[in-house]
Amino acid sequence: MHEPFEGGKHRIVDFRLIEQTDQSLAVAVVGEPGSGINDRLKVRLGNNYDQPLTLADGRESFTFADWAYLRIGKDKTKVLGNLQAVRLSGE
């Protein structure tokens, strides 16, 4: 579910479920300091995959359809897919 390890060493320190339903999943993937990995991955399956859905935990929420990818960087954030709204915790 993430890019390959460089040099045979993993850099991921946290893999956290944001929310899961029968037809959707959102997770957070966070790497060790300096790795640049601070990602949110979301996917929607089933007949209504193209309809917006909000998944959230107590810290973050994401409204998306189909799939969305968010890499949160120090100076910029990269967004791919159909992400329509986001609330981040600021941690």
- In this model, does residue 3 exceed pLDDT 70? no
Residue percentage of the chain with pLDDT more than 90: 77
Query: Per-residue pLDDT averaged across 40-56, rounded?
Result: 96
The two beta strands, 24-31 and 38-44, are antiparallel
Query: Per-residue pLDDT averaged across 59-77, rounded?
Result: 95
pLDDT tens-digit readout, 9-46 = 778 899 999 999 999 999 999 999 988 899 999 999 99
Which residue ranges make up each domain of the chain? 12-87
Cα angle 55, 66, 13 (rounded to 5 degrees) comes to 55
Query: Per-residue pLDDT averaged across 61-83, rounded?
Result: 96
Residue percentage of the chain with pLDDT more than 70: 90
Please tell me the predicted confidence (pLDDT) of residue 71. 95
According to CATH, the topology of domain 12-87 is: Chondroitinase Ac; Chain A, domain 3 (2.60.220)
Backbone angles phi and psi of 37, in degrees to 5: -95, 110
Please tell me the predicted confidence (pLDDT) of residue 51. 96
